[in-house]
Chain A
Amino acid sequence: MSDHPLFSTRNPWFGISVGITAGVAVLSAVVGLIWLPLLQPHLQLTGVWDAICSAAGVPRAAVQETAVKPDFKTSNVVMTSEMLTKADQVSIGRGATLAQRCAICHGPQGVSDAHSPNLAGQFAAVTYKELNDFKTGARVSVVMSPFAAAMSDQDMKDVAAYYAYLPRVPSNNLDTGRPAPAVVVTGAPMRNIPPCGSCHGDIDNKAGSPWLGGQSVVYIKAQLEAFASGARRNDISQQMRNIARQMTAEEIDQVAHYYEAQP
């Protein structure tokens, strides 16, 4: 072996191997960061530096083009799975006072036979979102819209916290022995219908999806039909319209009766 040090410019092995390795690295960088990005016209790169940044994955906000504006009101509530899950006693107390005006339809304990939704034990995020949508006009009801119009954001949160605090009371049609229809248990995968419970709380809860047990059959049917026809459009990005549109009239009838009989 020679006496030259290994890491030395005088060692040809060292010089050549480092040189070639650096050469391959530079060539790959030029190909990957500059040449290939510039070959893709749809990226609309403005130059070499833009190409390098793009290929290296520097994040940027999407280019704002002129989006088509909706010709109807959409829900403006920002839903998260943690929202309104920790109510304080003051909020519940305020809500109890405010909820007196709701009692004529929704019942003094949040339960009634008036075919209006039973709110006792409803997820707070759900009651809050619907009140908000009534107020902004994303959801329309001759009865509810005027009530919601006068409510502040805090009022809606308090009322929602109060109803979430009340215990669920089964309806008069409770029948836990009633067999669950197929669309509830398994959904209909090829028609884009997941099992109802994967959002509505029986299995898992997606923020904004209501608890359905004990709701009136008339109410559930009316809402599913409104989603299916597009008469109701306050579900964010069509999350419920996509499902209801695919359901048959028979399935809608089955799920409405099934959920009315649940606790």
Chain B
Amino acid sequence: MATETDHSPGEAVAARIERRWATLSIVIVGVLVGMAAFIGIHQATMPQGRVEIADPKTLHLSGEFTESNLGSEMAADGSVTVRAIGQQYSFTPQCIVVPADTPINLRATSADVVHGFLIEGTNINTMLVPGYITDLPVRFKAPGDHVMPCQEFCGIGHQGMWGKVKVVDKTAFRDMAAAKRRLTCVD
């Protein structure tokens, strides 16, 4: 542009610096977007893919969170769905049994207030919010026992709210699933 030639050298330097700072800020935005995508894909954070709702007052009357439908279910393709609820002051089922090295869908919700859902020794750590269904795709590497404390203060009996997760061998789980449609390890 014709007018540019009339400017002092100081203005050219200012423009160059301006351009570099602009480039740097765009790169920072790009890195942040990329980081969010990366940790999402690699499940360092587990943003939920969809929002599903369920009435906390009537969970026991109908739908997938009725007492007899809770526990682990094995689908025809070998994947497993676990359904559980949190309530003041226990998880039902109190002991969740899952196979190792298998894609698992954890579905849970709360029947009253906000509860925490944390499985020790894994990166599973989320909240059970009344009215909403928590849905997590997870995979346990090896057989073993984990404790599952409620990690969100849910009332005066909160510290007594603990569940258990028992990860068993794949074939052992398959045998159990053949005998029963919904599995738990409550004794």
The interface of chain A, by Cβ under 8 A from chain B, is 1-3, 13, 17, 20, 24, 27-28, 31-32, 36-37, 39-40, 42-43, 54-55, 57-62, 64-65, 67-71, 74-76, 78-80, 187-195, 197-199, 203-204, 206, 236-239, 242-243, 245
A36 and B40 form a contact (CB under 8 A): yes
B103 and A42 form a contact (CB under 8 A): yes
A199 and B89 form a contact (CB under 8 A): yes
B23 to chain A, nearest CB (A): 9
B47 to chain A, nearest CB (A): 9
Asked whether A24 and B26 contact (CB < 8 A) given A62-B52, A206-B88, A237-B85, the answer is yes
A67 and B52 form a contact (CB under 8 A): no
A198 and B160 form a contact (CB under 8 A): yes
A60 and B52 form a contact (CB under 8 A): yes
A198 and B68 form a contact (CB under 8 A): no
With a CB–CB cut-off of 8 A, which chain B residues contact A195? 156-157, 160
A117 to chain B, nearest CB (A): 22
A28 to chain B, nearest CB (A): 5
Asked whether A237 and B87 contact (CB < 8 A) given A40-B137, A54-B49, A78-B61, the answer is yes
Q: B94: which of A3, A70, A74, A245 is its contact (CB, 8 Å)? A: A245
B68 and A68 form a contact (CB under 8 A): yes
Q: In this assembly, does B17 line the interface, its C-beta being within 8 Å of a C-beta of chain A?
A: no
With a CB–CB cut-off of 8 A, which chain B residues contact A198? 88-89, 155-157, 160
Residue in B closest to A17 when the chains form the complex, CB atoms? B22
With a CB–CB cut-off of 8 A, which chain B residues contact A17? 22
A184 to chain B, nearest CB (A): 12
A67–B133 Cα distance when bound, in Å, is 16
Q: In this assembly, does B125 line the interface, its C-beta being within 8 Å of a C-beta of chain A?
A: no
With a CB–CB cut-off of 8 A, which chain A residues contact B119? none
A3–B2 Cα distance when bound, in Å, is 12
A192 and B163 form a contact (CB under 8 A): yes
Q: List 27 A-B contacts (CB under 8 A).
A: A13-B18, A20-B26, A24-B26, A24-B29, A32-B37, A42-B49, A42-B105, A54-B50, A57-B51, A60-B51, A67-B63, A67-B66, A74-B60, A75-B60, A189-B162, A192-B89, A192-B90, A194-B89, A195-B157, A195-B160, A236-B60, A237-B65, A237-B70, A237-B111, A238-B93, A238-B94, A245-B94
With a CB–CB cut-off of 8 A, which chain B residues contact A203? 156
With a CB–CB cut-off of 8 A, which chain A residues contact B65? 237
Q: In this assembly, does B30 line the interface, its C-beta being within 8 Å of a C-beta of chain A?
A: yes
A231 to chain B, nearest CB (A): 16
Interface residues of B in 44-96 (CB under 8 A from A): 49-54, 57-70, 85, 87-94
Asked whether A37 and B49 contact (CB < 8 A) given A24-B26, A28-B33, A68-B69, the answer is yes
Q: In this assembly, does B182 line the interface, its C-beta being within 8 Å of a C-beta of chain A?
A: yes
A61–B155 Cα distance when bound, in Å, is 28
Asked whether A194 and B63 contact (CB < 8 A) given A42-B103, A62-B54, the answer is no
Q: B160: which of A54, A58, A192 is its contact (CB, 8 Å)? A: A192
Asked whether A239 and B90 contact (CB < 8 A) given A36-B41, A42-B137, A68-B181, the answer is yes
A195–B37 Cα distance when bound, in Å, is 44
With a CB–CB cut-off of 8 A, which chain A residues contact B67? 70, 74, 237-238
What 16 additional pairs, Cβ within 8 angstroms, besides A59-B53, A69-B66?
A31-B33, A32-B36, A40-B49, A42-B103, A42-B137, A54-B50, A61-B52, A61-B53, A61-B54, A80-B57, A187-B159, A189-B160, A195-B156, A198-B89, A237-B111, A243-B90
